[in-house]
């Protein structure tokens, strides 16, 4: 501030000497302002120096800073705290008070803690349950370092460079939680975008309801979709109970901890599905769902919406001080020695705390101990939150003598809801069924799967019609009788459906009238509107008869009129978007199919009542 004041003063003197009084009037206010600013700056510096001396005196009299360095800077204190933590080593089992020398000892210790948690939940003892959520993860120079996710989180962001100990920290944290709570109170979902190596042991915990890796991105997508559905399910539970939090429920659902290793890889490979994680971060606190995201570089990886709901930041050693500042507001983590893996700083918004994560002596023993404790206490394994994608091949079950109702749906494979796999049930009460697909995609095999599902039923008459060099041949698969052509079969149906006197048709639901299902393979010629002949006419008559169900295969859909000819379509995608959409597959369903899917025999889309569901049909031997 001296230079501006001196400059203003020199100009003032020159103007006075030259008697330019107007300029003197302009310079004087500026000079006064510079003098005032300089005096204020000098006063602030003196006050700061006085406060620093007072603080130094207070520390020396009241207690030393971490490391015993009086008056040390923040970086020096953090470095000393990290150095002290690096000198400490303690096994996780010691913190958990579990003897993990062998599996029998481990499961007994875990069973005791699980029983305590179950008892507190049965009694509605919220105070005890809240205290149980405080689980030991590591040690500090003065004691045990613990984390309470519902209180400190509800979500956490963990950062650290390669070799800093991120995977060990995640493993210790999850094992500590699993040792405290049974599967009925706590579940895990593991998303490993490091090839599946990070959770190679943890995913065998009985608490695990989902485990995926970046080796199968379709499986990972199902995991993210399942979280969205689980959030909605819990919202419905809370809404119906008229409470604001799952903790207020008498029997709350198990808490779910979603653990993601290499979050930056997930963001890079599945950017369109981050909205599910953002919703989890926003709604998870009240719905009992928590997120632990782990990454090597936190800079720019987490959106502001997610960051606003992450209450706990843990930073192990990083290379760039900016990365440390992103999580801790300090470059403390960049000062951690590479020779001290597992040393970290935790920051929850108030103050940083250095700790060294406890390393489990045997993760395998603790995991197997959890499995044994689960069986001893009668804990039911939680159902998976999501299932793997559709299999590439699905063997047909053996034909049995189980009697089903004539109108019961046919199970001919598995259907994919986008999250779970369910039996592929093809209804028989919604009209005719068209199976469309070009080339050897599995149309005839699907028709055979339907025949296998129908033959054991009582009250069902199944006829099969196939195309030969001599025309269409119809046969009865249960007896082996060859009727000859489609005309004779259709004529027989018409005669049997009428009264013996020929005056009125027989009631289709009468006990004496079986349900007639006609399976026709390669029906393109029969469906051609320009076709001629008795087979063509009888086929169209059967399609229009509400008392019969015709299931037919086509190589193309150009002659098919929906819904006149059928109420259900089973379409095998060709890979040509225009052809597939013309067959009825919506664009959203087509986006789920890639080049590999369209080459899998039996992979199709079921179109019924406005919905499109990917399915995999049974692979079975031909009946004829």
- In this prediction, residue 604 carries a pLDDT of 94
555 is in an annotated binding site: no
- In this prediction, residue 592 carries a pLDDT of 83
140 is in an annotated binding site: no
Residue 390 belongs to some domain of the structure: no
Tokens at 371, concatenated: 């499995």
Compute the C-alpha angle 188/189/190, nearest 5°. 115
Residues 54 and 92 in one domain: no
pLDDT over 50 at 494, yes or no? no
- In this prediction, residue 477 carries a pLDDT of 64
CATH of the domain at 530: 3.40.50.300
Q: Can you tell me the distance from the alpha carbon of 226 to that of 234, in angstroms, rounded to the nearest whole number?
A: 12
134 is in an annotated binding site: no
**What DSSP element (H or E) covers 314?**
strand 312-316
370 is in an annotated binding site: no
Q: Can you tell me the distance from the alpha carbon of 297 to that of 622, in angstroms, rounded to the nearest whole number?
A: 57
Summary mean pLDDT of the chain: 84
What total of structural domains would you count in the chain? 3
pLDDT per position as a tens digit, 80-98: 888 899 888 899 999 998 8
Q: Is the pTM of this model over 0.85?
A: no
Placement of tokens 């049909």 in the chain? 617
Residues 458 and 544 in one domain: yes
- In this prediction, residue 478 carries a pLDDT of 54
Nearest to 303 by CA among 333, 330, 280: 280
- In this prediction, residue 351 carries a pLDDT of 85
Tokens at 511, concatenated: 């006990």
Residues 28 and 146 in one domain: no
497 is in an annotated binding site: no
Q: Can you tell me the distance from the alpha carbon of 248 to that of 119, in angstroms, rounded to the nearest whole number?
A: 17
Domain boundary among 330, 359, 376: 376
Tokens at 194, concatenated: 């490091």
Q: Classify 468 in phi/psi space as left (phi over 0), alpha (psi -120 to 50) or beta.
A: beta
Residue 78 belongs to some domain of the structure: no
Residue 301 belongs to some domain of the structure: yes
Domain boundary among 355, 376, 397: 376
CA dihedral 577, 583, 584, 590 (to 10 degrees): -30
Residue 352 belongs to some domain of the structure: yes
161 is in an annotated binding site: yes
Residues 45 and 136 in one domain: no
3-state secondary structure of 301: coil
- In this prediction, residue 616 carries a pLDDT of 94
Per-residue pLDDT, averaged over 192-202, amounts to: 87
pLDDT per position as a tens digit, 309-367: 999 999 999 999 999 999 998 899 999 999 999 999 999 877 889 999 999 999 999 99
Confidence of residue 33 (pLDDT cuts 50, 70, 90): confident
Residues 298 and 436 in one domain: no
Domain boundary among 32, 48, 63: 63
List phi, psi (to 5°) of 442.
115, 20
- In this prediction, residue 493 carries a pLDDT of 46
pLDDT over 70 at 137, yes or no? yes
Measured in whole angstroms, the distance separating CA 233 from the mean position of its chain's CA atoms is 14
User: What range defines the domain where residue 7 resides?
Assistant: 2-63
pLDDT over 90 at 497, yes or no? no
Q: What percent of the chain has pLDDT over 90?
A: 50
Residues 440 and 301 in one domain: no
Q: Strand 460-468 and strand 515-520: pairing? A: parallel
163 is in an annotated binding site: yes
Residue 224 belongs to some domain of the structure: yes
Q: Before 414, cis peptide (omega within 30)?
A: no
Q: Can you tell me the distance from the alpha carbon of 569 to that of 264, in angstroms, rounded to the nearest whole number?
A: 42
- In this prediction, residue 38 carries a pLDDT of 73
Residues 418 and 452 in one domain: yes
**Between 597 and 405, where is the model more confident?**
597
- In this prediction, residue 148 carries a pLDDT of 94
Nearest to 141 by CA among 82, 223, 74, 195: 82
Residue 425 belongs to some domain of the structure: yes
pLDDT over 80 at 534, yes or no? yes
Residue 69 belongs to some domain of the structure: no
Residues 143 and 242 in one domain: yes
Most confident by average pLDDT, 207-221, 384-398, 485-499: 207-221
- In this prediction, residue 398 carries a pLDDT of 63
Residues 338 and 472 in one domain: no
pLDDT over 80 at 36, yes or no? no
Q: Can you tell me the distance from the alpha carbon of 522 to that of 518, in angstroms, rounded to the nearest whole number?
A: 13
Residues 112 and 253 in one domain: yes
Tokens at 399, concatenated: 């034909």
pLDDT per position as a tens digit, 537-584: 889 999 999 889 999 999 999 989 998 899 999 999 998 999 999 999
Compute the C-alpha angle 567/541/451, nearest 5°. 60
CA dihedral 128, 344, 227, 123 (to 10 degrees): 0
- Residue 268, CB-side half-sphere exposure with 13 Å CA sphere: 10
- Residue 386, CB-side half-sphere exposure with 13 Å CA sphere: 27
Q: Strand 481-482 and strand 410-416: pairing? A: unpaired
- In this prediction, residue 241 carries a pLDDT of 93
Residue 440 belongs to some domain of the structure: yes
Q: Can you tell me the distance from the alpha carbon of 154 to that of 542, in angstroms, rounded to the nearest whole number?
A: 62
- In this prediction, residue 605 carries a pLDDT of 95
Residues 19 and 90 in one domain: no
595 is in an annotated binding site: no
pLDDT per position as a tens digit, 40-78: 767 666 665 554 443 333 332 333 334 444 445 677 888
Residues 23 and 116 in one domain: no
């Amino acid at each position: 501030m001296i230079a501006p004041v001196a400059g203003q003063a020199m100009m003032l003197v020159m103007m006075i000497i030259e008697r330019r009084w107007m300029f003197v009037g302009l310079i004087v206010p500026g000079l006064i302002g510079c003098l005032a600013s300089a005096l204020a700056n000098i006063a602030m510096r003196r006050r700061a120096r006085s406060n620093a001396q007072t603080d130094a005196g207070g520390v020396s009299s009241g207690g030393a800073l971490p490391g015993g360095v009086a008056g040390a800077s923040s970086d020096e204190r953090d470095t000393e705290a990290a150095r002290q933590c690096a000198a400490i080593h303690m096994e996780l089992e010691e913190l958990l008070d579990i003897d993990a020398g062998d599996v029998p000892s481990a499961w007994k210790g875990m069973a005791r803690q699980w029983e305590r948690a179950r008892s507190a939940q049965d009694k509605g003892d919220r105070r005890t349950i809240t205290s149980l959520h405080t689980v030991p993860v590591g040690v500090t120079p003065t004691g045990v370092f613990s984390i309470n996710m519902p209180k400190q989180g509800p979500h956490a962001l963990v950062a650290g460079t390669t070799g800093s100990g991120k995977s060990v920290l995640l493993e210790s944290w999850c094992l500590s939680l699993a040792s405290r709570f049974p599967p009925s109170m706590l579940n895990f979902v593991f998303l490993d975008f490091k090839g599946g190596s990070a959770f190679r042991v943890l995913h065998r915990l009985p608490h695990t309801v989902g485990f995926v890796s970046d080796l199968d991105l379709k499986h990972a997508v199902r995991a993210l979709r399942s979280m969205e559905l689980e959030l909605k399910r819990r919202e419905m539970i809370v809404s119906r109970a008229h409470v604001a939090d799952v903790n207020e429920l008498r029997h709350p659902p198990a808490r779910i901890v979603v653990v993601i290793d290499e979050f930056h890889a997930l963001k890079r490979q599945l950017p369109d599905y981050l909205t599910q994680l953002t919703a989890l971060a926003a709604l998870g606190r009240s719905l009992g769902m928590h997120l632990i995201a782990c990454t090597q570089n936190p800079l720019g990886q987490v959106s502001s919406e997610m960051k606003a709901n992450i209450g706990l930041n843990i930073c192990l050693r990083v290379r760039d001080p900016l990365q440390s500042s992103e999580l801790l507001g300090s470059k403390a983590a960049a000062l951690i020695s590479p020779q001290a893996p597992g040393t970290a700083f935790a920051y929850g918004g108030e103050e940083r705390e250095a700790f060294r994560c406890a390393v489990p002596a045997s993760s395998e023993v603790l995991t197997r101990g959890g499995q044994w404790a689960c069986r001893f206490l009668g804990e039911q394994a939680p159902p998976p939150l999501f299932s793997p994608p559709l299999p590439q091949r699905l063997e047909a079950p053996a034909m049995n003598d189980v009697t089903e109702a004539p109108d019961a749906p046919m199970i001919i494979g598995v259907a994919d809801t986008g999250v779970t796999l369910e039996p592929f049930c093809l209804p028989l009460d919604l009209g005719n069924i068209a199976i469309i697909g070009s080339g050897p995609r599995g149309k005839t095999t699907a028709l055979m799967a339907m025949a296998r599902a129908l033959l054991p039923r009582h009250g069902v008459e199944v006829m099969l019609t196939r195309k030969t060099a001599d025309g269409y041949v119809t046969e009865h698969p249960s007896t082996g009788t060859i009727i000859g052509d489609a005309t004779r079969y259709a004529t027989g149906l018409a005669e049997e459906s009428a009264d013996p006197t020929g005056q009125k048709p027989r009631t289709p639901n009468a006990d004496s009238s079986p349900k007639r299902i006609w399976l026709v393979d390669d029906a393109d010629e029969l469906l051609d509107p320009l076709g001629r002949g008795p087979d063509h006419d009888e086929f169209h008559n059967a399609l229009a008869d509400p008392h019969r169900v015709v299931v037919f295969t086509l190589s193309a859909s150009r002659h098919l009129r929906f819904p006149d000819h059928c109420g259900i379509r089973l379409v095998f995608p060709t890979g040509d978007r225009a052809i597939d959409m013309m067959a009825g597959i919506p664009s959203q369903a087509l986006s789920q199919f890639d080049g590999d899917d369209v080459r899998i025999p039996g992979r199709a889309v079921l179109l019924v009542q406005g919905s499109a569901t990917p399915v995999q049909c049974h692979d079975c031997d031909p009946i004829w």
